[in-house]
Structure 1
């Protein structure tokens, strides 16, 4: 566990380097395990922060009034939720549970929540934290009497996945009420490499509240350190009095989730597998177009298409020979969301090697090709926000990508445009990183 107060965080780089156990210990780990991805990865057991905390009988939370921000991904190795385990142990005084998008028990679809209600299993009050601003989150913490905030949600590594912004809002509220903040860390399922364009201030929203790149390459624990060090003083008036990250043991930044040995619980209804997470930072951008991003199918974000798309798109993409991914011509009929009940032509992405696959490059190539091939291709236009009507701008952080592709730019030009800002972010984040691997 890494405990950081405001002064200690000034030396966060040194702390991060000391705190991490070596994952190459032992001959079995040194050899690595051959995988279906065509690479070898260390096969030490991976232990989540939640599991470590539970193994110590939740001693880190003893004697505190605890508010827990979690969802169905906040589980232990026996597949029970941390809230149920904490509650039944009698060791933790839980004064409230705070449900993000999709809810604490995960019953709500995208853009929805479960509302505030008593949890039927534990009797605890579950507060609706989805979309809460700082004032509302602060009010909920005060109503519940929270002294320590615990965050345990499996993120998927993309800026527009909303759980990290619920965490940041909660961090600001924790400053306001003087609460300790504890992150029970989990692996980043797409690894530790930062990719993509930077969010710019005019385009911040609930799918990108602060200036980080599109695939941040950090765990939620590392992000909490980054947020505390880079943003909180300006946004909340000061940094956290105490930030504790209970670290993942046995994980490296280059290890895909599929070989961690950890069970995958859907973080949201449209994130069914670790493979979905691999493509999501890129194909999630198709939410900002009139193509279906595969919602309403069993392979959301891996299937992308529209009624006006034909075989030529897959043929062109397959011909690019992009590393780590193949494109299969596919046809599907979404049961909800865009093009419901209509046959869509398109592609399915098949990731063959996560270590070489770049989801941003793949998605940009897909966008460039779709724009060139199909006159019916268009950007989603939201009339409710006339000042910022294009959803793709909120997803990518500025108008640049949309304008470049609309003007006929190549994928090389689009990707090259964010090279310097990505390098700047990569340099800034280094002092907050906790885990070893080629990306740091």
Structure 2
């Protein structure tokens, strides 16, 4: 059943791929910043096995960037070298050599050790191993306060992103950069690969839909590394004069995005991002959170599986066949039955489909997600936006309200068009001019 409804209030929590529940945060000032960075892009990529991460380049070649500084670190379990040595341990051990001191740690969603579930409040505490205070950036505030930064000269950011706008770590970085500018702190990003490469897809965010699952006007699949994004945020969006530096990777080529984790260990960026395959599907399949289906949380295939209790063997097979008939590139679909151990439909047998990416370079996650939503509405009258199902959260009463699909997609027109039965490929084609404009802007900030 297609229904025209809307609004999940901006303050109401959501569950993004990380499974995020946006906490209250007011959108930042729209005043443009102060232009692109000086300098030239980094060297072209070599073989994927030759990649040096930003943290490794800092330790081996650029430790003098921190000389004489009190250093705060924003990180989580992904802040590791290729040998899985963590940035906190590495920088504490390098204090004498580099003539700096680590004075504070900062925890994003899921916590600095990564154990908190999606949307869970993260507390501040004292880290027993180092004796350092860990300030929560996913608790009472998402933006560092002046008090949180009083013992810091430079903030260092080292977290693995997954290339999707509604994954909250990039917005933790944004708010930290903004606070660094206000309170006169330097900001240093240690760069890491984008597991989706440099291709962009999906709507560019409508600023009226700004929330912690999308603060600024970038595409759903943004196609940039965190270092490149930091420079873009500084140049295009943040009004304060932020001293932003990026420690670039050596040997990185975004065209090889699907090969780097043949040589790197995949450290879970969040509890429901267990593999790079999850990251491949996430921009599009994360949109399944907007309807009354399981998006696979609580199973071994989060975001690779979509289903509901009313899909039995015949219905699951029909859905897989329908999606396979749509000539979507680099992907195939298979009927699957799983029982989520938590989240939606906990302990119920759920039928649906598993998304199998057969060619990551040809696969278009966002297009696939739009086709999936269209097929669910076409085939099953039970399908509604989550706000329409009394077992789910929120209210959304009219076309100009804000539903969770609006915040995830970044554009209310996606919901309106799906409600009206517009062909999914026509929906996707409607974003292309905005993507070209974004890519023209982003070009000045690309380093690889």
TM-score band, normalised by the shorter chain? 0.7 to 0.9
Q: Distance in 1 between matches of 2:112 and 2:48?
A: 31
Q: Distance in 2 between matches of 1:384 and 1:206?
A: 19
The answer as to whether partners of 1:102 and 1:268 remain within 8 angstroms in 2 is yes
**Map of 1:66-81 to 2, 5 A cutoff?**
66-81=71-86
1:132 Cα deviation after fit: 5.9
The corresponding residue for 1:205 is: 211
The corresponding residue for 1:124 is: 132
Which residue, 306, 309, 332 being the options, matches 1:307? 309
Which residue, 53, 70, 75 being the options, matches 1:48? 53
For 2:279, what is the secondary structure of its paired residue? Answer: helix
| Stretch deviating more after TM superposition (422-431 or 111-120) | 111-120
The corresponding residue for 2:254 is: 253
1:249 Cα deviation after fit: 1.2
1:256 Cα deviation after fit: 2.2
Q: Distance in 1 between matches of 2:147 and 2:270?
A: 24
Q: Distance in 2 between matches of 1:11 and 1:204?
A: 23
The corresponding residue for 1:434 is: 447
1:293 Cα deviation after fit: 0.6
Q: Distance in 2 between matches of 1:156 and 1:337?
A: 22
In angstroms, what is the RMSD of aligned CA positions?
1.9
**Map of 1:22-421 to 2, 5 A cutoff?**
22-24=44-46, 42-56=47-61, 58-91=63-96, 92-130=100-138, 133=141, 137-143=144-150, 145-233=151-239, 238-240=240-242, 242-260=243-261, 261-309=263-311, 310=315, 311-381=317-387, 382-383=393-394, 388-421=401-434
Q: Distance in 1 between matches of 2:434 and 2:141?
A: 28
Q: Distance in 1 between matches of 2:190 and 2:395?
A: 37
Q: Distance in 1 between matches of 2:76 and 2:321?
A: 40
The answer as to whether partners of 2:202 and 2:428 remain within 8 angstroms in 1 is yes
1:298 to 1:209, Cα distance in 2 relative to 1, 3 A = same
The corresponding residue for 2:5 is: none
The answer as to whether partners of 1:138 and 1:174 remain within 8 angstroms in 2 is no
The total of aligned residue pairs comes to: 401
The answer as to whether partners of 1:113 and 1:130 remain within 8 angstroms in 2 is yes
Q: Distance in 2 between matches of 1:350 and 1:421?
A: 29
The answer as to whether partners of 1:327 and 1:349 remain within 8 angstroms in 2 is yes
The answer as to whether partners of 2:320 and 2:353 remain within 8 angstroms in 1 is yes
The answer as to whether partners of 1:131 and 1:206 remain within 8 angstroms in 2 is no
Q: Distance in 2 between matches of 1:157 and 1:71?
A: 17
For 1:414, what is the secondary structure of its paired residue? Answer: helix
For 2:359, what is the secondary structure of its paired residue? Answer: coil
For 2:39, what is the secondary structure of its paired residue? Answer: helix
1:11 to 1:301, Cα distance in 2 relative to 1, 3 A = closer
Task: Mark the runs of 5 or more structure 1 residues left unpaired by the alignment.
Answer: 1-8, 25-41, 436-440
Q: Distance in 2 between matches of 1:249 and 1:329?
A: 42
TM-score by length of 2: 0.86
Q: Distance in 1 between matches of 2:230 and 2:321?
A: 42
1:248 Cα deviation after fit: 1.2
The corresponding residue for 2:3 is: none
1:95 Cα deviation after fit: 1.3
The answer as to whether partners of 2:135 and 2:148 remain within 8 angstroms in 1 is no
Q: Distance in 2 between matches of 1:147 and 1:141?
A: 12
| Stretch deviating more after TM superposition (268-277 or 330-339) | 330-339
The answer as to whether partners of 2:206 and 2:217 remain within 8 angstroms in 1 is yes
Q: Distance in 2 between matches of 1:132 and 1:244?
A: 28
1:343 Cα deviation after fit: 1.4
Q: Distance in 2 between matches of 1:320 and 1:75?
A: 41
1:87 Cα deviation after fit: 1.3
The answer as to whether partners of 2:36 and 2:235 remain within 8 angstroms in 1 is no
The answer as to whether partners of 1:131 and 1:166 remain within 8 angstroms in 2 is no
TM-score by length of 1: 0.87
1:355 Cα deviation after fit: 0.8
1:139 Cα deviation after fit: 2.6
| Stretch deviating more after TM superposition (338-347 or 151-160) | 338-347
1:232 to 1:131, Cα distance in 2 relative to 1, 3 A = farther
Q: Distance in 1 between matches of 2:417 and 2:147?
A: 43
The corresponding residue for 2:6 is: none
The answer as to whether partners of 1:229 and 1:239 remain within 8 angstroms in 2 is no
Q: Distance in 1 between matches of 2:334 and 2:50?
A: 34
1:250 Cα deviation after fit: 1.0
Task: Mark the runs of 5 or more structure 2 residues left unpaired by the alignment.
Answer: 1-33, 388-392
